[in-house]
Amino acid sequence: MQLTENMELLPDNLYGSLKAEAEQEVLKTSAIILRPSNIYGEGGGVGRRASTVIEQFIESSKKSGDLRIVGDESRGIDFIHVRDVVLFVEKLIANQIKGGQIFNVSFGESISLADLAELVVKRAEAICGVKSKIIFDKSEERTLNLTRRVDNARAREIFPDFPTIPLEEGIDELLKQKE
C-alpha cells in the first residue's frame, strides 16, 4: 500500500488514532506536519531503550546470534535515516516553506523483513566478521502484516535529491558505530 499525504487517515490502533487526532488539531495552526516513515540511525530513537527492527537485528548479529522474524517475513517497511529527516527539516527552514502543509518524510521504498535480515547478516559478516542466521517464527502472528510504502513525491519537490542515505549505507554506519 502506497501512502500519500492526501489519503484519508485510517488508524489501525489507539496510537494511530491519537496521532490522527493530534494532526487534525495541528492543521488548525500554521505549522508544518511531517509524517516520517520508520526512522533509524544513531540518535533516531526516543529514549535510551528505543530501537528499530534494524537496530535489533544489528545487535543480534553482532553477538553472532539469530535474527528472529515473528509472523509474516514478507511484510515491508519503509525506513528513513535520521540524518535525512534532519536534512529535510533544514531544507524546509532554508526555503521558508509556508505552514499548513503535510509532508511524508520517507525513503519511498519498502523492504521486506526477510530481505532486511539478509542484508544485515551479509553486512555484519563483511564489516564485523560475524555469522548469524535468520529464524522465521510463525508461532505468533502480528496484526499488522501489510507492506506500507510512504510516497515522498511532495518532499522531492522541495528537495530533489532526497533522500540521500541508502539503507545499506545506514546499516554499515550502525554496524561500525556499535563495534
Q: Mind listing the pLDDT tens digit for each residue in 118-162?
A: 999 999 999 989 889 998 887 766 555 567 788 999 999 989 998
On the CB side of 114, how many CA atoms lie within 13 Å of its CA?
A: 8
Give 82's contacts (C-beta < 8 A, 6+ positions apart): 39, 40, 41, 42, 43, 44
Instruction: Please report the pLDDT score of residue 91 as a whole number.
Output: 93
pTM: 0.86
Mean pLDDT of 25-45: 87
C-alpha cell at 60: 543480534
pLDDT, tens only, 78-94: 999 999 999 999 999 99
Q: For the domain bounded by 2-177, which CATH number is listed?
A: 3.40.50.720
